[in-house]
Amino acid sequence: MTLEDLKLTIRDVPDFPSKGIMFRDLTTLIKNGDALQLMSKELAALYRDKGVTKVVGIESRGFIGGSILAYELGCGFVPARKPGKLPSVTIKKAYAKEYGVDTIELHSDSITSDDVVVLHDDLLATGGTMNACYELVKSMNPKKIYINFIVELTDLDGRKNLPADCEITSLLKY
Q: Which residues are catalytic?
A: 61, 98
Phi, psi of 53 (to 5 degrees): -110, -20
91 C-beta neighbours (distance < 10 Å), count:
16
Taking the C-alpha atoms of residue 93 and residue 14, their distance in angstroms, rounded to an integer, is: 32
Angle 10-13-17 (CA atoms, 0-180°, nearest 5)? 125
Beta-carbon contacts of 63 under 8 Å, excluding residues fewer than 6 positions away, are 57, 79
Taking the C-alpha atoms of residue 70 and residue 34, their distance in angstroms, rounded to an integer, is: 19
